[in-house]
């Protein structure tokens, strides 16, 4: 066993995650990108920060209450991590609003897109806004005046609210001084000005602006001294006691409504808010000063995500592209050949979004409608509320096929959608299970069992599988990079069958033929593969590891990578988000590089390459190298065996991004990222793959 690595050789998880968000924000700051895409990246950064507070900061605050002295692997206790997080998050938020106010809004104005953040309206616009308020907004508002009979209302997580400072007395002689107005979620946050009223091609007003202008109409006869928008972010983790529940779906349905009212972790208020009101809100939500974020603009930047879709300016957006079809699938469609026969001849690799997600939908639809298919099994983690894939499963069940679906009910923020799909599937007779309590089912797998007729008249069952690195979600397949493999390889299909047996039945885990599986063999096999490279390098032969994932956190794997580096193994890591490993440290990680690719598409594939003496072992996976993926989830890493497909994964998934000097950020030993400077020889891996896909 390698010597234990000291805490200072690990980078803090939360600070690393904030560093990723800083890289996303840098996309919004990049003047080379189309203007509306820059705005979109600003909104993505804000959305990421929301989830960071809902999950990571909420977890740190809970840890402070339960076990304040406990330190993470990097040696920092929660209290110190929270302090550093707050310092960095405040700087990040200030950057966001400076970018919006000083750069993006003026540039949008130059392009005829006027987002009116203040009431500098002419008489006609003011009259329209007042009529809009009276007809569309006022009837659905319920102002709450604070007094002993009206305590502070429950405020939904991330909802838009207004704290109104009042003077005078109401009809009952009451003098409260404060009222809370909640903006119903049904109200649009962005409203398009009628063309006749706008001096620009696109005039857009925020709900906040109209509310602040006419809120006094809610309080007749009283003086409005201030109307201050605010937003509270709450702990959004669900608590389900694994040992106490008897029905996971029922337990979750009981917990979901409470998600909106978890403990407050952040308060966002307009920077014009009075100190007295800010202190009142801070006390109400039991927050510290560092948890309060005064912002110079809308308290919810995510709402601006709607703007690019409201504006018909393709010149200010990324050039649209049409994903290609794999040659084998395209030929099968042209020739009318049977899809299963095509897959039966050879494995087919699909690289999204450069290649279409349509073959996955076709595969499920073919399985649902083919009379020779007798059974379909699938895992569902995230699929969306409107899913053609799920409709195929419903169709298959209605027509009498044996349909088994493992629905992960604990997929964060998708619980309600997955519960709804589970109910619909059960209604048509599908077998629906929820995996293993305490272990999220994160593996992406479909298994189809088909009755096939040979020329000699015999009949046999044959299995077909689809395995992927990403979710079965048509929407994210257009924006996330992922690999998928269609195969009839008997070893792979046998292993997939065994995983489904574990998820739906009972029994001990059998040894897999070729798949690495969490929580049983993936960690051990990963460690063994790294050690094998170290042994090869120690013998004087080339040792080589290339790995790509979203996050690298698991201490034992990091420890093995350090040891392999010291043995002479050349290691290149492409880590999109969180990385706790320190690269380039003399005597520790001199042979390790870490880079992050942030671009038009979200890099989501997990790829593990080990040279293994020239065998070039390649695995694709749904799993990051994190504790949860190794030990608390059902995950698979599956080999790519066919040499041509293996080369494609290495070239398209690894080498092209190691060559990238346009979207790549390189991490130093302190955890600081520096963007590559392309010079004259600019090379974007994502753009290269897009151009290659259009040639097919």
In this structure, is the dihedral angle defined by the CA atoms of residues 374, 502, 358 and 547, taken in order, positive or negative?
A: negative
Q: Classify residue 56 by its DSSP letter.
A: I
**Residues contacting residue 4 through CB under 8 Å, at least 6 positions apart:** 559
pLDDT confidence of residue 331: 74
Q: pLDDT digit string (tens) for 85-124?
A: 999 999 999 999 999 999 999 999 999 999 988 778 889 9
Q: What does the pLDDT average to over 260-269?
A: 87
Length of the chain: 696
d(CA 663, CA 676): 7
Verify cis geometry, omega within 30 degrees of 0, for the bond prior to 519: yes
d(CA 214, CA 207): 11
More confident residue, 287 or 413: 287
pLDDT confidence of residue 672: 95
CB 533 within 8 A of CB 616: no
Domain residue limits, the chain: 7-316, 327-504, 516-695
Q: pLDDT digit string (tens) for 579-606?
A: 999 999 999 999 999 999 999 999 999 9
> Does 443 have pLDDT greater than 70?
yes
CATH number for the domain whose boundaries are 516-695: 3.30.870.10
> Does 258 have pLDDT greater than 60?
no
CB 324 within 8 A of CB 693: yes
pLDDT confidence of residue 412: 62
> Does 246 have pLDDT greater than 60?
no
**DSSP one-letter string for 92-104:** HHHHHHHHIIIII
End-to-end CA distance of the chain, in Å?
Answer: 49
> Does 472 have pLDDT greater than 50?
yes
Q: Which residue has the tokens 């739906």?
A: 504
Domain 327-504 identical in fold to domain 516-695: yes
**DSSP one-letter string for 113-172:** EEEE-S----HHHHHHHHHHIIIIIGGG---EE-BTTBPPPP--TT--EEEEEEES--TT
Q: Classify residue 361 by its DSSP letter.
A: H
Question: What is residue 349's three-state secondary structure?
Answer: strand
pLDDT confidence of residue 680: 79
pLDDT band at 694 (very low <50, low <70, confident <90, very high): confident
Structure tokens at 571: 């290691």
Question: How many angstroms separate the Cα of 332 from the Cα of each of 463, 645, 696?
Answer: 19, 18, 15
pTM confidence score: 0.92
CB 544 within 8 A of CB 610: yes
Give the CATH number of domain 7-316; options: 3.20.20.70, 3.40.50.300, 3.30.1840.10, 3.40.50.720: 3.30.1840.10
CB 520 within 8 A of CB 501: no
d(CA 164, CA 228): 6
**DSSP one-letter string for 440-471:** EE--EEEEEEEEEE-TTS-EEEEEEEEEESS-
- Residue among 416, 388, 407, 394 at smallest CA distance from 475: 388
Considering the chain, what percentage of its residues have pLDDT values greater than 70?
93
Structure tokens at 344: 């039966």
In this structure, is the dihedral angle defined by the CA atoms of residues 61, 63, 67 and 69, taken in order, positive or negative?
A: negative
CB 533 within 8 A of CB 569: yes
d(CA 693, CA 322): 9
Sort 611 into a burial class: Cβ within 10 Å, 0-12 / 13-18 / 19+: buried
> Does 568 have pLDDT greater than 90?
yes
Q: pLDDT digit string (tens) for 123-143?
A: 999 999 999 999 999 999 989
Question: What is residue 696's three-state secondary structure?
Answer: coil
Superfamily covering domain 327-504: Endonuclease Chain A (3.30.870.10)
Structure tokens at 479: 């924006």
> Does 509 have pLDDT greater than 70?
yes
> Does 257 have pLDDT greater than 80?
no
- Residue among 100, 94, 85 at smallest CA distance from 43: 100
The H or E element containing residue 411 is none
List, edge to edge, every strand of the sheet that includes 190-192.
113-116, 202-206, 190-192
**DSSP one-letter string for 487-534:** E--HHHHHHHHHHHHHHHS--PPPPPSS-EEETTTHHHHHHHHHHHHH
Instruction: Annotate 405-433 with b (16+ C-beta within 10 A) or e (fewer).
Output: bbbbbbbeebbebbbebbebbeeeebebb
pLDDT confidence of residue 68: 80
d(CA 286, CA 8): 34
- Residue among 585, 413, 345, 321 at smallest CA distance from 50: 413
Strand partners, 433: 406
Strand partners, 441: 634
pLDDT band at 1 (very low <50, low <70, confident <90, very high): very low
The H or E element containing residue 667 is strand 664-667
- 585 Cα distance to chain centroid: 31
pLDDT confidence of residue 253: 47
Catalytic option among 442, 466, 523, 657: 442
Q: Classify residue 186 by its DSSP letter.
A: T
pLDDT band at 148 (very low <50, low <70, confident <90, very high): low
Q: pLDDT digit string (tens) for 369-405?
A: 999 999 999 999 888 778 899 999 999 999 999 999 9
Q: Is 442 a catalytic residue?
A: yes
Structure tokens at 410: 């604990």
pLDDT confidence of residue 336: 44
- 573 Cα distance to chain centroid: 20
Q: What is the dihedral of CA 32, 36, 42, 45, to 10 degrees?
A: -90
148-152, 208-212, 326-330, 594-598: least confidently modelled range: 148-152
More confident residue, 407 or 465: 465
d(CA 627, CA 265): 25
d(CA 445, CA 620): 12
């Amino acid at each position: 066993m390698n010597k234990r690595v000291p805490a200072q050789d690990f980078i803090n998880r939360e600070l690393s995650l904030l560093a990723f968000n800083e890289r996303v924000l840098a996309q919004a700051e990049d003047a080379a990108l189309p203007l509306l895409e820059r705005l979109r990246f600003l909104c993505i950064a804000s959305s990421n920060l929301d989830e960071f507070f809902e999950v990571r900061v909420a977890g740190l605050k809970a840890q402070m209450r339960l076990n304040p002295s406990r330190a993470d692997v990097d040696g920092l206790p929660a209290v110190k991590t929270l302090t550093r997080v707050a310092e960095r998050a405040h700087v990040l938020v200030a950057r966001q609003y400076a970018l919006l106010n000083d750069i993006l809004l003026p540039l949008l104005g130059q392009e005829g897109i006027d987002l009116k953040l203040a009431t500098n309206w002419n008489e006609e616009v003011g009259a329209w806004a007042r009529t809009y308020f009276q007809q569309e907004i006022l009837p659905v508002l319920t102002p709450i005046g604070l007094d002993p009979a009206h305590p502070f209302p429950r405020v939904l997580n991330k909802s838009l609210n207004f704290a109104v400072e009042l003077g005078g007395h109401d009809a009952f002689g009451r003098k409260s001084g404060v009222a809370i107005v909640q903006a119903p979620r049904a109200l649009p946050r962005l409203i398009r000005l009628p063309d006749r009223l706008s001096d620009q091609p696109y005039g857009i007003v925020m709900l906040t602006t109209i509310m602040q202008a006419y809120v006094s109409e809610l309080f007749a006869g009283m003086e409005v001294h201030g109307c201050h928008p605010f937003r509270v972010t709450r702990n959004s983790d669900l608590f389900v006691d694994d040992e106490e529940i008897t029905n996971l779906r029922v337990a979750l349905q009981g917990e979901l409504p409470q998600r909106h009212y978890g403990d407050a972790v952040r308060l966002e208020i307009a920077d014009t808010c009075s100190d007295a009101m800010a202190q009142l809100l801070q006390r109400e939500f039991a927050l510290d000063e560092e948890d309060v974020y005064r912002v110079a603009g809308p308290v919810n930047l995510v709402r601006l995500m709607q703007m690019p879709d409201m504006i018909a300016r393709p010149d200010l957006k990324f050039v649209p592209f049409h994903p290609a079809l794999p040659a084998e699938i395209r030929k099968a469609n042209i020739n009318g050949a049977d899809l299963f026969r095509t897959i039966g001849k050879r494995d087919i690799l699909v690289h999204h979004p450069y290649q279409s997600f349509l073959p996955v939908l076709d595969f499920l639809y073919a399985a649902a409608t083919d009379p020779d298919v007798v059974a379909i099994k699938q895992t569902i983690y995230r699929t969306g509320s409107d899913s053609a894939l799920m409709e195929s499963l419903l169709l298959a069940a209605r027509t009498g096929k044996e349909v088994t679906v493992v629905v992960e009910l604990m997929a964060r923020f998708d619980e309600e959608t997955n519960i709804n799909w589970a109910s619909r599937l059960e209604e048509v007779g599908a077998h629906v299970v929820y995996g293993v309590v305490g272990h999220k089912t994160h593996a992406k797998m479909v298994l189809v069992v088909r009755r096939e007729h040979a020329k000699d008249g015999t009949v046999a069952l044959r299995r077909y599988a689809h395995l992927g690195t990403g979710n079965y979600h048509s929407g994210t397949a257009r924006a996330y990079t992922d690999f998928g493999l269609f195969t009839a390889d008997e070893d792979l299909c046998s292993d997939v069958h065994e995983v489904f047996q574990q998820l739906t039945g009972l029994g001990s885990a059998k040894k897999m033929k070729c798949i690495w599986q969490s929580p049983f063999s993936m960690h051990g096999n990963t460690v063994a593969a790294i050690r094998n490279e170290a042994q090869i390098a120690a013998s004087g032969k080339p040792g080589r590891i290339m790995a790509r994932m979203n996050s690298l956190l698991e201490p034992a794997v990091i420890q093995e990578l350090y040891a392999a580096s010291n043995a002479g193994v050349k290691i290149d890591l492409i880590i999109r988000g969180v990385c706790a490993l320190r690269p380039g440290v003399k005597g520790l990680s001199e042979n390790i590089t870490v880079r992050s690719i942030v671009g038009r598409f979200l890099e989501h594939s997990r790829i593990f390459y080990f040279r293994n003496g020239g065998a070039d072992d390649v695995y694709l996976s749904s799993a990051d190298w994190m504790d949860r993926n190794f030990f608390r989830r059902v995950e698979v890493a599956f080999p790519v065996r066919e040499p041509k497909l293996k080369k494609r994964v290495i070239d398209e998934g690894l080498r092209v991004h190691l060559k990238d000097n346009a979207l790549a950020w390189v991490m130093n030993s302190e955890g600081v990222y520096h963007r590559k400077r392309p010079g004259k020889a600019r090379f974007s891996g994502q753009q290269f793959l897009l151009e290659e896909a259009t040639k097919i």
